[in-house]
């Protein structure tokens, strides 16, 4: 019974979609906007750039580069242009607006999620350790071959975990039936699994250290000798290794062992001097993934921004706390634990940065309705600034640095030769990071994303599903129990 979710998108995938218009293939000259470059280059206050064949052919101060005769021109005076953002950590394919389940997993649903990412200005998105490899390779191949409508480019990391551990109670509902995660219990098994993944030419690998049961001991953690062997073998094959680790001891262990990317921020403990010294020595990439527990955005924040892509009933459910990951309703007052978590974040976040951890944008988007594709990214970048980064630093961390981590030389900044992946904003995010939400248009490889029909499709998702699956609706449960399924 896999038909519950992939309702209407299948028909959209096979529709032909327009490539670039004639003027776009000839080129377009954009002038007058403030250009945020996406690396340490200062912004150009009155800039111009030429896009031809999906790439930036020239860029500079207005007046210093020439528009070819007869070319289409677009005046962007008063606007700000920044590179499309790139998300180095999300979970894709299993979310279905009101459920999170393996039955939602299909190419059509993956595409829907990547369209939601693109709608909000994300050009490339990497899902972490949660896809069956053959499926992911085929999807990537099909997308590269142009079989799908415009969406964020799909990237994935292979996943590895201790047996029965790894992905948490939610993630495991999707990944276990698909055997999406390699389970390893010894250094030998880890090495063999890494070799298989390397043979498939996969460059990114994520492993979970946690037992994911709050150390109650029912599941086993990945022991250091296993992850050390894993990291060493992966590096022999030139792979980039990400470690999910959420407590101080494990974060120390994986960074000391040479992991390339540390995922998560300590929220229940404070960083100590020993760990700071390890960070200073190793300077790992670091994907903080903090926004999920931030209730402010949904309860006090910009609901219309979120509601663009969420059916009204889903927005109402989130505010009422009816989510598949337990979350309090907006009417509840904040708990002491939440206050402690916030205090730890305020203490820890600047310390990671000051020790040289290289922050890379990533969100865990997709694991909860209240932190879903596209808008979660704008919440997350807002948190970076709330916790002490400058907007310019936060934008670098969300554009060129994840591109570097993903080994994408063709995107991540506004520069000659790069793909024309950019966002036109109505306001300046260097003044207020919340202005990344003031999206007027999104361009991917020089082609303007047609956002209005996408918005309509997202808003109507449940209506369409109901119409097409009236019978299945009879036994359809709108909200799974608030506690995760028993495993």
Shortest CB 402 distance to Zn ion, Å: 14
Site for Zn ion, rule CB under 5 A:
364
Q: How far apart are CA 404 and CA 450, in angstroms?
A: 28
The residue among 30 and 207 lying less far from Zn ion, judged by its C-beta, is 207
Q: For Zn ion, give the closer residue by CB, 117 or 421.
A: 117
Shortest distance (Å) from residue 208 CB to Zn ion: 9
Sequence length of the chain is 487
Q: How far is the CB of 344 from Zn ion (least distance, A)?
A: 19
CA distances 310 to 107, 153, 372, 458, Å, are: 20, 22, 9, 6
Q: Which residue's C-beta sits nearest to Zn ion?
A: 364
Please choose, from the candidates 207, 327, 368, 345, the residue with its C-alpha nearest in 3D space to the C-alpha of residue 265: 345
* Closest to Zn ion by CB, 28 or 241: 241
Give 95 or 364: the residue with its C-beta nearer to Zn ion: 364
CB of 463 to Zn ion, least distance (A): 30
CB 340 to Zn ion: min, Å: 22
Rounded to an integer, what distance in angstroms lies between the CA atom of residue 127 and that of residue 149?
A: 19
Residues 420-445: b if buried by 16+ CB within 10 A, e if exposed: bbbbbbebbbbeebbbbbbbebbbbb
For Zn ion, the closer of residues 115 and 364 by Cβ is 364
Nearer residue to Zn ion within complex by CB, 101 or 210: 210
d(CA 73, CA 24): 10
The least distance separating Zn ion from the CB of residue 125, rounded to whole angstroms, comes to: 13
User: How near is the Cβ of 91 to Zn ion at its closest, in Å?
Assistant: 6
Q: How far apart are CA 163 and CA 460, in angstroms?
A: 40
Q: Which is nearer to Zn ion, 357 or 365 (CB)?
A: 365
């Amino acid at each position: 019974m896999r038909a519950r979710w992939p309702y209407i998108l299948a028909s959209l995938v096979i529709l032909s979609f327009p490539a670039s218009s004639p003027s776009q293939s000839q080129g377009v000259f954009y002038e007058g906007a403030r250009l945020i470059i996406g690396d340490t280059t200062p912004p150009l206050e009155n800039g111009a750039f030429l896009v031809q064949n999906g790439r930036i052919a020239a860029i500079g101060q207005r007046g210093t580069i020439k528009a070819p005769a007869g070319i289409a021109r677009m005046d962007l005076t008063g606007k700000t242009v920044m590179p499309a953002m790139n998300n180095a950590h999300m979970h894709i394919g299993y979310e279905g607006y009101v459920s999170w389940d393996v039955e939602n997993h299909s190419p059509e649903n993956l595409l829907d999620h990547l369209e939601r990412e693109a709608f909000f200005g994300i050009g490339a998105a990497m899902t972490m350790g949660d896809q069956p490899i053959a499926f992911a390779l085929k999807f990537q191949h099909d997308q590269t071959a142009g079989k799908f409508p415009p969406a964020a480019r799909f990237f994935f990391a292979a996943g590895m975990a201790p047996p029965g551990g790894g992905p948490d109670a939610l993630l495991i509902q999707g990944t276990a039936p698909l055997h999406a995660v390699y389970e390893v219990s010894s250094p030998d098994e880890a090495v063999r699994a890494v070799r298989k993944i390397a043979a498939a030419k996969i460059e990114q690998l994520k492993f979970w250290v946690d037992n994911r049961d709050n150390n109650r001991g029912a599941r086993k953690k990945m022991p250091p000798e296993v992850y050390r062997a894993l990291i060493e073998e992966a590096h022999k094959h030139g792979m980039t290794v990400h470690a999910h680790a959420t407590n101080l001891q494990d974060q120390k262990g994986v960074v000391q062992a040479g992991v390339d990317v540390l995922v998560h921020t300590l929220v229940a403990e404070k960083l100590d001097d020993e760990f700071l010294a390890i960070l200073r020595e190793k300077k790992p990439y670091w994907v903080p993934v903090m926004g999920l527990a931030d209730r402010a955005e949904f309860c006090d924040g910009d609901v219309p921004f979120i509601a663009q892509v969420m059916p009204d009933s889903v927005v109402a459910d989130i505010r009422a706390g009816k989510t598949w990951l337990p979350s309090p309703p907006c009417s509840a007052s904040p708990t002491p634990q939440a206050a402690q978590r916030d205090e730890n974040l305020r203490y820890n976040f600047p310390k990671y940065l000051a020790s040289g951890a290289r922050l890379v944008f990533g969100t865990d988007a997709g694991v909860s309705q209240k932190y879903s594709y596209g808008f979660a990214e704008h919440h997350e970048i807002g948190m970076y600034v709330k916790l002490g980064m400058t907007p310019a630093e936060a934008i670098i961390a969300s554009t060129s640095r994840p591109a570097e981590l993903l080994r994408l030389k063709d995107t991540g900044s506004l520069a000659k030769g790069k793909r024309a992946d950019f966002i036109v904003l109505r306001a300046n995010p260097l003044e207020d990071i919340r202005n990344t939400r003031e999206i007027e248009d999104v361009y991917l490889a020089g082609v303007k994303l047609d956002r209005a029909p996408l918005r309509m499709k997202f808003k109507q998702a449940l209506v369409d599903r109901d119409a097409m699956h009236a019978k299945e609706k009879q036994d359809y449960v709108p909200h799974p129990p608030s506690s995760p399924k028993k495993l």
